[in-house]
Amino acid sequence: MSSPINENETEKCPDVQVYNTTDIKRNFKGDRMNFILLLLLYTMQGFPIGLTSAIPILLQSMKDVSYQDQALFSLVIWPFSLKLLWAPLVDALYVRKIGRRKSWLLPVQYLLGSCLLYMSNDIDTLFPKTDKPNIMTWTYMFFITNILAATQDIVIDGWALTILNKKNLDHTSTCNTTGQTIGVMLGSMVPILLTSEDFCNKYLWVEPETGGVVSIESFFFVWGIIFMSATTLIAIFKKEKDHLLEENQIKLNVAQNYGLIWDILKLPGIRKLTLALLTARVGFSVTDSVTYLKLIDAGISKDDIAIINTALCLIKICLPLLSAKYTSGPKPMSIYLKSTIMKLTWSIAFLALIYITPRFVINNGFVDIPVTYYVVLIFVLFVDEIVSYIMFVAMLSFFSRICDPRFGGTYLTLLNTVSNLGFTWTSTVALGMIDLLTIKVCSKNSKNYCSTMDQQNTCETIGGDCDTLVNGYYIGTFICMIVGLLWICVFKNVLKSLQTKSSCYWLVKI
């Protein structure tokens, strides 16, 4: 079924062939190896993202890391929201004999492998066994790593638009979501679970042993080698097809590529979509960014959280295949809006979860959590992950549909960057405001509000505890829910209207 076209949208459509992939019969003959390659590349792209999500959990389990420290480390995800600043360079500068995408992919992945090898060699400095971790050093290292990962993201997204045949373009979102999920799972599961002595002794070893299956040091080292080896194989065996003279492609220099960004942003539909994407995640920024950290504070182990996340990742790998029928239909943003309302409503379940968690933790020298609680925890997280994933796939499907095929790399990077920025700024603000909204007082000194680490240490010195009077998580979640409902009222009709526009509406006029 084709999207309806308004009369005023058929005007002056440039002489550009636009492909309506919703009406083309798909056939993977000749594309199987390309499909596998995309899955591999998106898996490698997801790995640094998984690492970035694992480090805050490892840090929070040390108990002497504040939410302000977590807010500082959250800055490492900003390169994914700033990649548009150098995306035109990636599109315009390349060695034609190597390939437009391989010219960037090869050095970037070699550098990523080098960063992992460097961190494996300096792990004692990054993760001291006794002292508090140097949050600033972690932030520097992962900021650099994520700049490379964001550049890799630009390259792979651009290559994905040309590596598959036109009839299979809709499956780029499947490669993206499935590959990234596998990469995120590998990047987050192993450093939390298989390096944990408690987890290995509980689930893997017959007799208690010291340490985990792997160390953080060996984990970084092995993945550094994997990045180096995979990149070398791609360099030798995968030849990139030159699309410069095909498919109405236009050769632009660096200045023209930067100008192209402005040309895209001048489109009325893009301006409306940009404003919507920048504010779309405010409604659930606290539940997305703070919930896991609150669970750890309440006594749930990082190992248990990692096990649950791993199970959820396995489910998410299958979700694109199950949900593709619905998310790749003619109205993906209608699916996105319905899912947003469900996710906002589900914030109430998170409030209840955080409220009951301390009451299920029995502390008599050890933490004893009943199976009933884990059933509730898994159910709450499971529903949220499904809704979030449907939103993500629906949004990617819409992006793939509206991108101008002549400038697909820059166009898609712009849309993804705006979407990432909508997550990044809300996550940083959410983490930063929790401590500000939380009111604590020392049980031995009512004038000590435990607002800083020094005040908390002072309270402990005199034998007191910092009792929470007002939990900033509840206030922050409630405020965000109100803002999210207002967002629905403002953008509901706007997004429904945008998804009915024809392909000509989204073409760049140069």
Tens of pLDDT, residues 393-444: 888 888 878 887 677 667 888 898 899 889 888 988 888 888 788 888 888 8
The model's pLDDT over 376-393, given as tens digits with 9 standing for 90+, comes to 998 999 899 889 888 888
Check the CA dihedral 335-337-341-343 and report its sign.
positive
- Per-residue pLDDT band at 146 (split at 50, 70, 90): very high
pLDDT value at 132 more than 60? yes
- Per-residue pLDDT band at 120 (split at 50, 70, 90): confident
Predicted local confidence at residue 475, as pLDDT: 92
Predicted local confidence at residue 455, as pLDDT: 80
* Mean pLDDT in residue range 3-28: 46
C-alpha 172/C-alpha 397 separation (Å) is: 9
Q: Which of 341, 409, 452, 398 minimizes the C-alpha distance to 163?
A: 409
Q: CA separation (Å) from 387 to 158, 171, 287, 319, 392? A: 27, 20, 13, 11, 9
The model's pLDDT over 305-336, given as tens digits with 9 standing for 90+, comes to 878 877 777 777 776 666 655 655 678 899 89
Phi, psi (5° rounding) for residue 359?
-80, -15
Q: Are 83 and 108 in contact (CB under 8 A)?
A: no
- Best-predicted range by mean pLDDT (93-107, 246-260, 454-468, 480-494): 480-494
pLDDT value at 346 more than 50? yes
* Mean pLDDT in residue range 70-95: 84
Predicted local confidence at residue 170, as pLDDT: 59
- What would the two tokens of residue 474 be? 């509840």
Predicted local confidence at residue 389, as pLDDT: 83
The model's pLDDT over 262-310, given as tens digits with 9 standing for 90+, comes to 899 999 999 999 999 999 999 999 999 899 888 888 888 877 887 887 7
- What would the two tokens of residue 267 be? 């489109």
Q: CA separation (Å) from 208 to 57, 183, 212, 369? A: 24, 30, 10, 22
**34-48, 91-105, 197-211: range with lowest mean pLDDT:** 197-211
What b/e string do you get for 233-251 counting C-beta neighbours within 10 Å, with b at 16 or more? Answer: ebeeeeebeeeeeeeebee
pLDDT value at 10 more than 60? no
C-alpha 15/C-alpha 398 separation (Å) is: 22
Q: Are 306 and 446 in contact (CB under 8 A)?
A: no
Q: Are 419 and 408 in contact (CB under 8 A)?
A: no
Quick one: which H or E segment has residue 385? Answer: helix 371-402
Site of tokens 């490892």: 58
Q: CA separation (Å) from 36 to 159, 174, 208, 443, 508? A: 14, 12, 40, 59, 32
* Mean pLDDT in residue range 496-507: 88
DSSP codes joined into one string, 92-109: H---TTT-TTHHHHHHHH
Q: CA separation (Å) from 43 to 161, 192, 209, 292, 403? A: 17, 19, 32, 24, 23
The model's pLDDT over 233-249, given as tens digits with 9 standing for 90+, comes to 999 988 887 655 455 55
Predicted local confidence at residue 171, as pLDDT: 65
> Beta-carbon neighbour count of residue 29 at 10 Å?
7
| CA atoms within 13 Å, Cβ hemisphere of 359 | 6
Higher pLDDT, 503 or 150: 150
Site of tokens 């209608």: 334
- What would the two tokens of residue 26 be? 């798909």
Share of the chain above pLDDT 90, in %: 24
The model's pLDDT over 162-184, given as tens digits with 9 standing for 90+, comes to 777 766 665 676 778 788 888 98
